[in-house]
Amino acid sequence: MHDFAQILANGLMAGCVYGLVAVSLALVFGVLEIPQFAFGAHAMISAYALAYLTSNEFSYFTALALSVLVGMGLGAIVQHLVFEPLRDKPHATLFIAAFGLLLILQGIALLAFGPNPMVVEPPVAGAVEIMGARVTYQRLIIIAGVLLAVIGLNVFLTKTRLGRAIRAAGQNPFGALVVGISPRKIAMLTMAVGSGLSAVAGGLLAPISQVYPTMGDFLVLKAFIIVVMAGMGSINGALVAGLFVGITESFGSAYFSPHIRDAYSIIFLIAILIFKPSGVFGKAGRVG
């Protein structure tokens, strides 16, 4: 029972991080139809910002908040300089631009911080035992932080004027334009929010993982698998699918083989697409 609880706890933590990056991808793709491969690098840049701030006497939570602002600013800049000029280009062009941006941001991080990883100390040391599982306080912070971020996103999208404008632009871009919603402003806001969510993931992950230029690669790869599995544009479905992938990988590694950990999510993705090509939570609307 203790082993089961420990494996489940590990899977929940990993699934939350995967799911939050997937939520950011689902939001941006659902509204802008941009396959933002670079969000893994956005998470990495924000994690570096957090590491730099904490090394200069900022508290972890203050540094986390500031790193999210860095991520949101990076998202707005990227949208203005990279994706806005390519608005009417084919999806393949956007894909190449996003992949190129990923490499550029990794190169910038390598030049700025060097190849040696940076370490972020957790804000609360130690662990607590839950149903026989030893869970560090940072892992609990990760789970709570991800849930709060997704709840906050849902409240923002459904209860605020800007959030409703994003939903309108995602569901009917022409209709949104007719009623006076600026596509450029909504695109910049959407990219900023998506990048901010990725920044939260990077900042939460930093204390249990070293910060290095390619740390976001595995995050964005898992996130894209999760987005397709859940259904393109399904925001809450992306979190659920992320939890499923994290738990599946954790139990698969423990009871079958850790050497094919990354294959478990691919196997389930193929099975899901065979029976439901639109994804588990896929639906007609572009933003779920």
| pLDDT, tens digit (0-9, with 9 covering 90-100), for 143-183 | 999 999 999 999 999 999 999 888 888 777 767 777 777 88
How many C-beta neighbours within 10 Å does residue 130 have? Answer: 13
How would residue 286 be classed by pLDDT, with cut points 50, 70 and 90?
Answer: very low
What's the chain's average pLDDT? 88
| pLDDT, tens digit (0-9, with 9 covering 90-100), for 19-32 | 999 999 999 998 88
In a domain, 191, yes or no: yes
In a domain, 280, yes or no: no
Q: How many domains does the chain have?
A: 1
In a domain, 19, yes or no: yes
Q: Is the pTM of this model over 0.85?
A: yes
In a domain, 283, yes or no: no
Residue span of the structural domain in which 265 resides: 2-275
Cα gap 111→108, rounded to integer Å = 5
In a domain, 281, yes or no: no
In a domain, 288, yes or no: no
In a domain, 282, yes or no: no
Instruction: Specify the CATH number for the domain of residue 129.
Output: 1.10.3470
| pLDDT, tens digit (0-9, with 9 covering 90-100), for 265-277 | 888 888 888 888 7
In a domain, 180, yes or no: yes
